[in-house]
Amino acid sequence: MRKPWGAVFLIAVVAALSLAAPPRAAAQQGLPDPAYVVIDAGTGAVLAQENANQPWYPASVTKAMTAYMVFQALAEGHLSLTDKVNVSAKAAGQPPGKLGLRAGSKVSVKFLLEAMLVRSANDAAVALAEAVSGSEPAFASAMTRQAQALGMSQTVFANASGLPDGAQITSARDLALLGRALVTDFPEHYGFFSRPHVSFGGQVRPSIMSWLRSYKGAEGIKTGFTCGSGYNLLASATRDGRRLIGVVLGARSGGERNVRMRKLMDAAFTAPPEATSGAILIAALRGHARSAAPYVLGGGRCGVAPSPGTEHMVAGKLPGWGLVFGSFVSKDEASRRIADNQAALKDVVAKGEPAIVARTSIATHRYSALLVDLDQQEAGSACSHLQELGVYCLAVPPKLLNNPHALWR
C-alpha cells in the first residue's frame, strides 16, 4: 500500500527527537538547533530532515566540492590522474591540517586527491585548485557557479579547503545535493572517498574519517570542523544495494557527529523502501531559515571564536603588530618555528619580540608562535617575505592581537 507523506514525516520527527535536545533546550544552552538531512541516493527522496535549509559554515566538507571540480576536469580531459602538479608557495604555506608538501615540488593529481580526502590536507586542496583554475580565487568562483548549476542555491565558496571565511556558506540540503551528484556524475572516482590511508614521506597515514570505521556499509564522504561550523559530516552508506546520503552539521564533538549520523542512517535503512513513495525530493526541499549561519562553538568551548569588529577594543599586553606563525603541540616546537622565521627575516626586519600564547581552552593544549612589537609596514613586509618562501604567516593588528576571541588563537 502506498505510504502517505505523513508516514515519512513521522520518521523525521522521531529521528529528530532521538538525536538532539528540543529547540527550547538548545536555545537555553546558547546552542544552535541541529541541522541534518538524510536522502535516498537513488530517488533523491528526503527521509529525515531538520533545519536543512539553515545556512551553515561547511568547514572541510568544502573539499568534497573541490573533488567534484577535479573530477569534472578529469572527465573533460583538462587533467589526468597521472599529471604532475607544481606545489606553489601559497599551497605549501597553508595552515594545518596539511600534509607538509614542499613549495616547488611536483606531485600527481591522484596523490593530491588522496591526501585531500584521506587526510583533509589544505595544501593538497590549494594545489588542486591552482591546477584546475590557475588560482584559488578563480577556482572558488568556479566552485560557486558549479554549485548553483547543481541546484545548491544557498551555497557560496570562497576557498578550496574550507578554512574559515565568513563568505563561505552552505546548508545541509545543498550538501546532500552535492553528495548525490558525486555518486551519479562520477561513479568511477567515488572510491576516493573511502580510501583507508595515504602514503607520504615513507609513512602510511590513515584516514581521519572515523565514520568509515564505525558504521557498517559506510563509504565516506567528508568530515569538517571549525569552531564556527562545529563538527560536520557529509556521509554515504550502502546496505542491501540501497545507498543513503546523510548530512549532519554543527555537532559539538566528533563522537556526537557519528552518533547522530548512525541513528539517522539506522532509522532510514530500517524503513521499508516503499516508505519513500510520495516523499518530497531533496531538490524541492524548501523551508524557513535564519538569515545568518550560527557560530556553534563560541565562548569558552573552543580555542577560537568569532572576531567582532575591532573599533571598541583596546590594546593589551602584546605590543604592536604581530606575526602569527601557526599553533604547535609543544612550546619547544613553537620556539623553534619562531627562531627559524626570525632567521629567515633577518634582512627584512631587525626588531620583533618572540611570544608564545597557550591555547588552553581546548582539550588538546597547543601553543601559538608569534613575533610581536612590529609596526604595520614591518609586519606586512615580513609576512609577504615568508609567504614567498612557502611559510605560513598571518599579520595581526594590535587590537586583534590581544582579543581573546580572535580567529588566530
Residues in the chain: 409
Query: How far, in Å, CA of 21 to CA of 211, rounded?
Result: 23
Asked about 327 being catalytic, the answer comes back as no
Cis peptide before 201 (omega within 30 of 0): no
Asked about 210 being catalytic, the answer comes back as no
The pLDDT > 90 percentage for the chain reads 54
Segment 223-249, tens digit of pLDDT: 999 888 999 999 999 999 999 999 999
pLDDT at position 398 over 80: yes
Contact 246, 37 (CB under 8 A): yes
What is the model's pLDDT at position 171? 96
What is the model's pLDDT at position 295? 85
Between 65-69, 102-106, 205-209, the lowest mean confidence (pLDDT) is in 205-209
Which cell numbers in the block locate residue 219?
A: 563509504
Same fold, 5-297 and 300-401: no
pLDDT at position 367 over 90: no
Q: What is the mean pLDDT of residues 317-329?
A: 85
What is the model's pLDDT at position 6? 37
Contact 392, 383 (CB under 8 A): no
Give me the amino acid identity at 291: S
The secondary structure of the chain, three-state, reads: CCCCHHHHHHHHHHHHHHHCCCHHHHHHCCCCCCEEEEEECCCCEEEEEECCCCCECCHHHHHHHHHHHHHHHHHCCCCCCCCEEECCHHHHCCCCCCCCCCCCCEEEHHHHHHHHHHHCCHHHHHHHHHHHHCCHHHHHHHHHHHHHHCCCCCCECCCCCCCCCCCCEECHHHHHHHHHHHHHHCHHHHHHHHCCEEEECCEEEECCCCHHHHCCCEEEEEEEEECCCEEEEEEEEEECCEEEEEEEEEECCHHHHHHHHHHHHHHHHHCCHHHHCCCCEHHHCCCCCCCCCCCCCCHHHCCCCCCCCCCCCCCCCCCCEEEEEEEECCHHHHHHHHHHHHHHCCCCCCCCEEEEEEECCCCCCEEEEEEEEECHHHHHHHHHHHHHCCCCCEEECHHHHCCCCCCCC
Radius of gyration of the chain (CA): 22
What is the model's pLDDT at position 408? 62
pLDDT at position 308 over 50: no
What is the model's pLDDT at position 358? 77
* CATH topology (fold) of 5-297: Beta-lactamase (3.40.710)
Q: Which of 120, 171, 229, 236 is catalytic?
A: 120
Asked about 63 being catalytic, the answer comes back as yes
Instruction: Please give the residue that has the higher pLDDT: either 330 or 318.
Output: 318
Segment 88-123, tens digit of pLDDT: 999 999 988 888 999 999 999 999 999 999 999 999
What is the model's pLDDT at position 380? 87
What is the model's pLDDT at position 288? 65
The CATH code that applies to domain 300-401 is 3.30.70.1070
pLDDT at position 339 over 50: yes
Query: How far, in Å, CA of 98 to CA of 117, rounded?
Result: 11
Q: Which of 60, 133, 161, 207 is catalytic?
A: 60
pLDDT band at 299 (very low <50, low <70, confident <90, very high): low
Q: Average pLDDT, whole number, for the chain?
A: 84
Domain ranges of the chain: 5-297, 300-401
pLDDT at position 20 over 50: no
pLDDT at position 290 over 80: no
Query: How far, in Å, CA of 408 to CA of 303, rounded?
Result: 9
Residue 225: burial class (beta carbons within 10 Å; 0-12, 13-18, 19+): buried
pLDDT band at 17 (very low <50, low <70, confident <90, very high): very low
Q: Which of 63, 90, 98, 222 is catalytic?
A: 63
pLDDT band at 258 (very low <50, low <70, confident <90, very high): very high
Instruction: Please give the residue that has the higher pLDDT: either 15 or 253.
Output: 253
